[in-house]
Amino acid sequence: MITLRSARRWLQRTPGRCDRDSVVDLLAWPTLAPMNTYNGKVLIVREDGTEISVTADLSIYHDGLRTGWNGTLTAAPDGLQEVANLAEGRLRFPDGQEAQFLRPDISDWVGTNQLSIIGQDEAPF
Protein backbone atom coordinates (compact mmCIF):
# COMPACT_ATOMS: atom_id res chain seq x y z
CA MET A 1 0.00 0.00 0.00
CA ILE A 2 1.30 3.45 -0.81
CA THR A 3 1.49 5.68 2.24
CA LEU A 4 2.61 9.27 2.52
CA ARG A 5 5.76 8.08 4.26
CA SER A 6 6.68 5.58 1.51
CA ALA A 7 5.97 8.19 -1.15
CA ARG A 8 8.26 10.67 0.59
CA ARG A 9 11.04 8.05 0.80
CA TRP A 10 10.61 7.29 -2.89
CA LEU A 11 10.79 11.00 -3.71
CA GLN A 12 13.98 11.38 -1.65
CA ARG A 13 15.62 8.43 -3.43
CA THR A 14 14.66 9.66 -6.89
CA PRO A 15 15.46 13.38 -6.96
CA GLY A 16 14.69 15.10 -10.24
CA ARG A 17 12.37 12.34 -11.44
CA CYS A 18 9.19 13.91 -10.15
CA ASP A 19 7.93 16.81 -8.17
CA ARG A 20 5.67 17.07 -5.14
CA ASP A 21 2.52 17.17 -7.31
CA SER A 22 3.49 13.82 -8.85
CA VAL A 23 3.62 12.25 -5.40
CA VAL A 24 0.17 13.67 -4.57
CA ASP A 25 -1.15 12.17 -7.83
CA LEU A 26 0.48 8.85 -6.95
CA LEU A 27 -1.25 8.82 -3.56
CA ALA A 28 -4.62 9.49 -5.19
CA TRP A 29 -4.50 6.19 -7.15
CA PRO A 30 -6.56 3.44 -5.57
CA THR A 31 -4.52 0.57 -4.21
CA LEU A 32 -5.51 -2.98 -3.44
CA ALA A 33 -4.03 -3.91 -0.11
CA PRO A 34 -4.96 -7.39 1.07
CA MET A 35 -5.91 -7.31 4.71
CA ASN A 36 -6.90 -10.92 5.28
CA THR A 37 -6.85 -14.20 3.38
CA TYR A 38 -8.32 -17.67 3.40
CA ASN A 39 -6.60 -20.66 1.82
CA GLY A 40 -8.24 -24.02 2.26
CA LYS A 41 -11.15 -26.31 1.53
CA VAL A 42 -14.69 -25.00 1.02
CA LEU A 43 -17.87 -26.43 -0.40
CA ILE A 44 -19.77 -24.95 -3.31
CA VAL A 45 -23.44 -25.47 -2.46
CA ARG A 46 -25.59 -25.60 -5.58
CA GLU A 47 -29.25 -24.57 -5.70
CA ASP A 48 -30.32 -28.21 -5.58
CA GLY A 49 -28.27 -28.73 -2.39
CA THR A 50 -25.44 -30.61 -4.09
CA GLU A 51 -22.08 -29.90 -2.43
CA ILE A 52 -18.83 -29.83 -4.38
CA SER A 53 -15.50 -29.69 -2.56
CA VAL A 54 -12.98 -27.16 -3.89
CA THR A 55 -9.82 -25.46 -2.67
CA ALA A 56 -10.19 -21.70 -2.16
CA ASP A 57 -7.55 -18.97 -2.33
CA LEU A 58 -9.43 -15.84 -1.22
CA SER A 59 -8.45 -12.32 -0.16
CA ILE A 60 -10.17 -9.36 1.41
CA TYR A 61 -9.24 -6.07 -0.23
CA HIS A 62 -9.89 -2.38 0.20
CA ASP A 63 -9.87 -0.23 -2.94
CA GLY A 64 -10.33 3.14 -1.27
CA LEU A 65 -14.10 3.17 -1.75
CA ARG A 66 -15.22 -0.15 -0.36
CA THR A 67 -14.06 -3.43 1.07
CA GLY A 68 -14.73 -6.69 -0.73
CA TRP A 69 -13.32 -10.12 -1.34
CA ASN A 70 -12.36 -12.21 -4.32
CA GLY A 71 -10.10 -15.04 -5.36
CA THR A 72 -9.96 -18.40 -7.08
CA LEU A 73 -11.48 -21.80 -6.54
CA THR A 74 -9.71 -24.93 -7.72
CA ALA A 75 -11.84 -28.00 -8.30
CA ALA A 76 -10.59 -31.56 -8.40
CA PRO A 77 -10.52 -32.85 -12.00
CA ASP A 78 -13.58 -35.04 -11.34
CA GLY A 79 -15.56 -32.08 -9.92
CA LEU A 80 -14.64 -29.48 -12.52
CA GLN A 81 -17.45 -30.42 -14.89
CA GLU A 82 -20.01 -29.79 -12.14
CA VAL A 83 -18.83 -26.21 -11.48
CA ALA A 84 -17.35 -25.06 -14.80
CA ASN A 85 -20.49 -23.24 -15.98
CA LEU A 86 -21.65 -21.82 -12.65
CA ALA A 87 -22.25 -18.08 -12.99
CA GLU A 88 -22.95 -17.67 -9.28
CA GLY A 89 -23.03 -19.80 -6.20
CA ARG A 90 -22.69 -20.14 -2.47
CA LEU A 91 -19.60 -21.16 -0.51
CA ARG A 92 -19.75 -23.00 2.79
CA PHE A 93 -16.67 -22.73 4.98
CA PRO A 94 -15.53 -25.39 7.48
CA ASP A 95 -16.89 -23.31 10.39
CA GLY A 96 -20.36 -23.30 8.78
CA GLN A 97 -20.35 -19.70 7.56
CA GLU A 98 -21.64 -19.12 4.04
CA ALA A 99 -21.23 -16.42 1.40
CA GLN A 100 -22.53 -15.76 -2.10
CA PHE A 101 -20.21 -15.27 -5.06
CA LEU A 102 -20.34 -14.30 -8.73
CA ARG A 103 -18.06 -15.36 -11.56
CA PRO A 104 -17.28 -12.48 -13.93
CA ASP A 105 -16.10 -14.88 -16.66
CA ILE A 106 -17.38 -18.45 -16.81
CA SER A 107 -14.73 -19.44 -19.39
CA ASP A 108 -11.83 -18.60 -17.06
CA TRP A 109 -11.27 -22.23 -16.03
CA VAL A 110 -10.06 -23.34 -19.48
CA GLY A 111 -6.44 -24.41 -19.16
CA THR A 112 -6.20 -23.54 -15.46
CA ASN A 113 -8.93 -25.57 -13.71
CA GLN A 114 -9.44 -22.46 -11.56
CA LEU A 115 -12.59 -20.38 -11.23
CA SER A 116 -12.25 -16.65 -10.53
CA ILE A 117 -14.90 -15.34 -8.16
CA ILE A 118 -16.07 -12.07 -6.61
CA GLY A 119 -17.74 -12.15 -3.19
CA GLN A 120 -21.21 -10.68 -2.80
CA ASP A 121 -21.53 -10.60 0.98
CA GLU A 122 -19.21 -9.64 3.78
CA ALA A 123 -16.19 -11.89 3.82
CA PRO A 124 -16.88 -14.95 5.96
CA PHE A 125 -13.22 -15.40 6.86
Residues contacting residue 26 through CB under 8 Å, at least 6 positions apart: 2, 7
pLDDT score, position 27: 47
What is the tens place of the pLDDT at every residue in 10-69? 556 655 555 555 544 544 444 444 459 999 999 999 988 999 999 999 999 988 888 899
With CA atoms as reference, report the closest residue to 69 among 107, 42, 46.
42
User: Can you give the pLDDT at residue 125?
Assistant: 86
Residue 37: CB atoms within 10 Å: 15
Tens of pLDDT, residue by residue over 88-102, are 999 999 999 999 999
Report d(CA 79, CA 81) in Å as an integer.
Answer: 6
- Max intra-chain CA distance, the chain: 63
Per-domain boundaries in the chain? 1-29, 36-119
